[in-house]
Structure 1
Amino acid sequence: MGIQVEVEEIDDIEYGSGSVEAEFLNYRPDLERVKEAAEEHGKDNLIVVGRENLVAGFRAIFHAFLPEIDVDVSIVTMPDPDHLHSLRNRFKPENTVVMPVMGSETYVPAVESFLFFLSRDYDVFAVYPEQENLLKSIAEEKDIPSLEYSSSVERFVSGSEPALVPAAFAGLDVSRIREGLEKSYTNMSSGDNAALHFASAIQSSDENGRSQILNLVYSTRLLGFQPFIASLFHGVRGESSSCVLGGSALKKRYTELVHDEDVLPLLLGSDSFEKRTLKADDSIADIDLREYDLKDLDGFDISESLKAEYRGMKDTLNHENVPHISLNVTDHDYRSVGELVGFIQCCAAYLVDMNDADASGFSTRELRQRSLDRRFLE
């Protein structure tokens, strides 16, 4: 299996039924059309524009293969004029495609960012839901090439076109990614499965006061999963719950974590790294390294160091009896990354079901309307 899940120090877990009706489990994107679109319209550079929850899945996938990707990719979620101007200077229209990825609900910041590029002669390829929406209207008026996706999967889009189309344009193997996704979906349909255990542990911890997830990531390839986890889990665990993101540097705060009963640490690690050895030559070999010498690191595989950091945090949390969950990716390939994306989507779907939440989204309509109104107030 590509993913190992461990739930530790969490007592009295009440498991859900394991039966969830979610449209994304049955939706099948047309991968041939996706690959044909990438072949016809792809360029050296790709700018993906969209609301965070719609592009988070692509970011997780893209970041996992960043060292291997030849296409220069940038993701825009807010109309920051300095950032947009920087992208304009960096990416020239003749070798760049701009890809707006939007949902049925108009998200004004993404529209503004898209218009910035549309008015500057960039080629565009659009991704939007099948029902009527603003981007679809623009695409039809401007004769912009596009692909549609089913509105039924708009909450859980990371196994469908909003993630897979930009992934294909970035040169990634979307067929293999989709295989991994479907493996997670098949596991979910079995009833008693790892995603159910994971979600049930989060739910039980939430009900016992640990309502904030502290996400500690021990692989740069998996850093894109931090915002992905946040975008999916935020709002599905009750009104009082929230999701806190963190990085490996926050392990320095472990003393606070041990005593903070509001926090549930979630560790994300990997066993799959390229082998890179260290060298400590004779001139520095005898310098003290705490209870060791630098020569003890000579020939040491540096990937083992990162694994040791991950295991060291787990050991600390276990020693202090701190409830926590760990996800470890044992392989790093298209299929395993797709499986991890699918696994997290399945966990979120279980949490939606456990909280009887509205899976169509957790809209802050009043805030968005006020933000829009402020644009036009004198």
Structure 2
Amino acid sequence: MRITLKEIAKMANVHYSTVDKVLHDREGVSDEVRKKIKRIIKETGYTPNSLGQALQKKSSVIRIAAVLLKVDALNMIKEGIHQALAYYEGFDIDVQFHLIQYFDEASQLNVLEQLMKDKVDGIVLSPINTESIRNAIDNITDAGIPVVTTMNFDIPESKRLCFVGQDAVRAGMVAASLIDGLLSGHGKVLLVTATEQTATISYSEGRRVGFEHMIKEEYPNIEIAGYVVGYDDPIVIKREMSSLLKNGPWPNGIFITGGGVAIIGELLRRYDKDHKIKIVCFERYPEIIKLIQDGIVNCTIDSNMRKQGYLPIKILLNYLVYKKKPAANEIYTKSEILVKGSLCKKIQ
């Protein structure tokens, strides 16, 4: 059985980073400890794996910046990033998180410009889709720093290395089919979106476009009765939906393209006790799972946010270490439809 770097560190009673310094002949280790580690390496016949050998060609630390928006998906994205880092445990990889308020273009631009000056090795980014951010991505890429976009946010026209996330248009088409089934082919649907239809934001607009296309082409008896533009802002969503549910008329179904599901769910818990309104949304956050189990949300389309955190780190390391480009410009995560039956415990 092949011995690992971590086991060498345990045998030498040192941190694995100390073993890594010895392997790469770096400073910061006493002569006594260095001799001890080299002796153990020789006795055990330890050899670095291919990633470790490749890393010897690089600087001692690979610095990756994760520039992420403060949205519902943030915790799951961070979990995926940490899972990727655990896979590469033993190597000197430093990930710094930079969290940006939703739609705070100026702050995101400032962070990106500073990261280019700092010459980080790579960037994981949930971009705000504006011309200034696109130009920043292009400048960063031209400076030799790869950028992977994720969290269902993308700027396809930019020079980013690739995008990891959901095929938003296809997801919207799937949602239309789910709504049609829930309403038995007839009814009025309200769309709760993140932005105005003229705005450019990948995940919400893509889902809306896909949904509207399928309704028009395949489900002529389903009517889009209106839109609530919530900007993924809890205050706005609560205000607009409270007014609608108090004053009517109620739609037969609601399609939520982005955030605000928990708020809408709690309002429906108060006003729609008979669960007349059918709900289709996205992601598998704990609050959404609870709403499905309680019969308030009918189904959700999960875009695998943990994978959207995991894959960008892996892609960046493959590119930085091996100069291996991703297989495609868009790497779509697998969507999964969750309903109450898929969340119930197995029958004993």
Bigger radius of gyration, 1 or 2? 2
TM-score, normalised by the number of residues in structure 1? 0.31
TM-score, normalised by the number of residues in structure 2? 0.33
